[in-house]
Structures are given as C-alpha cells and as structure tokens.
Amino acid sequence: MKRLRALVAVGVLALGSAGAGTAQASPPSPASESSGCPAAEIFATDNTAVITDPADPRLQTRLKRFDREVREIIRANGARAGSSTLLDGVFWSQEEQQATYERSREFDVAQVSADGLHHIADVIRKRYEQESVLTFRCLPRSSPETDAVEIQAPGVSATRLRDALLADPEARDRLGGGSVALDGRLILVAPLADLPLARKFTAALGVDWNKAEVRYGDEEFVA
C-alpha cells in the first residue's frame, strides 16, 4: 500500500487511554482523552495495480471480501476486529509524476499489543502483496512514543483532495497524499513535525481548522 500520509484515519494500538481533541486556531492544544479514538487502526488494501484514471471502475469496489478476510486475520491472531471504513485514496507517485488512486479500508483493532499489531499488519502485507501497511496508535500528546498526528475533517471530496495535492508540491512530496471516507470525511496522518504543513494543506482544501479533529499517536509503515 502506498504511504498513506493523507487525510485518512489510520491506526495502531493504545494500551490504555486514547488521545483525541479538537484543533484550535492557535497551535493545537494537547489531545483530550476520548473513547472516539480507536485503540488501534490498520489501513490496507488488496490492490496491486497503479491506477491513474479517477474513472477507473476498479475504484468502485467496496472491498467486501477483503473486509471479511482481514477481520479473520485480526481474530486469528488474538485481537478483536472493530468497525471498518471504506476509503478513497489519492496519492502522488514520484515515479509516475502524477496522482494515483486507490480504494482501501481502515480497520479498528482492539485487545492487541504493539508487537501484535505489527505482526497482524505484516501478515496482511504479505498476503495481499503490498509494499507496506500503515498503522497508528492513539496516544496522549505528552507520551514519549507520540511522533505523529491523525487529522480528520468533514466536507472534502477525493476530487478536491487531488486538485489540492497537484497544486502543492511541498505537500505532495512530504505528505504523499490522503484519503477520504465515503461520507466526505478527510483523514490525514502525518509526522508530528509536519503538523504546520498539514494544517496549511487542509486550509487549501477549504477545511475549517476549528472543526478539524487532531489525534496524537505513533505511526508505523510496516514494510
């Protein structure tokens, strides 16, 4: 799976409380403890093709079989599978020098250790022949393990995400792209150091920063 540095939900494990908060106009305040942040999230796909046409029929798949199979993998490895969200991803390909597209799913995972989450992501990666699978652990902002943010914001389409990505070379090079849920919810996972850039990018998408949710945690691309 491509590097999902995008407005998309991704996840890992939180062995305790999960951090989530509403971002403010000033630098984001520490994330408040919230049950809305899943214990763990995994972002994955079974797609191995490079899709550059936004009208490609493969982008209409709902990945139902993939959903069932990944849930079975999660349970078979001792964790609990939560809800799953279908996503439209838009990514920048350095090799192709153009935007690429991908249907994927975000899986909530519970009752799993950090090592267990890594193992599950690696099993998924190998089974579906992916370059990498993204995980994100929701953690308090003050945690020494926190190195990334997950930004969620309403009112964004995949088309708008593509246009903004093409118009911002810095964002496409450093953030790589993003994803949008079918309800128009943008989800961006980025390194903590790139939070100012991510905030600037969301503004270009027309997002009201005061309505965005920022979650803090630890990301990993399992490759």
pLDDT (tens digit, 0 to 9) for every residue of the chain, 223 residues total? 544 433 343 332 222 233 333 333 233 333 333 347 888 999 999 999 999 999 999 999 999 999 999 999 999 999 999 999 999 999 998 888 899 999 999 999 999 888 999 999 999 999 999 999 999 988 889 999 999 999 999 999 999 999 999 999 999 999 999 999 999 999 999 999 999 999 999 999 999 999 999 999 999 999 9
Asked whether residue 2 is domain-assigned, the answer is no
pLDDT at 90: 95
What is the total residue count of the chain?
223
The secondary structure of residue 190, as a DSSP letter, is: E
pLDDT at 192: 96
Burial (CB < 10 A; 0-12, 13-18, 19+), residue 149, is buried
Whether 189 is in a domain gets the answer yes
Q: Within a domain: residue 106?
A: yes
Q: By the 8 A CB rule, do 179 and 142 touch?
A: no
- In eight-state DSSP terms, residue 55 is T
Question: Does 1 map to a domain?
Answer: no
Domain count, the chain: 1
DSSP strand E in 30-185: where? 32-33, 40-44, 80-93, 98-110, 133-138, 148-153, 177-181
- Closest C-alpha to 215, from 122, 126, 148: 148
- Asked whether residue 6 is domain-assigned, the answer is no
Q: Are 192 and 146 in contact (CB under 8 A)?
A: yes
The pTM (predicted TM-score) of the whole model is 0.83
Query: Is residue 51 domain-resident?
Result: yes
Q: Which two tokens stand for residue 72?
A: 């079975």
For 172, the domain range is: 19-222
- The answer to whether residue 14 is domain-embedded is no
The DSSP 8-state label assigned to residue 51 in this structure reads B
Whether residue 5 is contained in a domain is answered as no
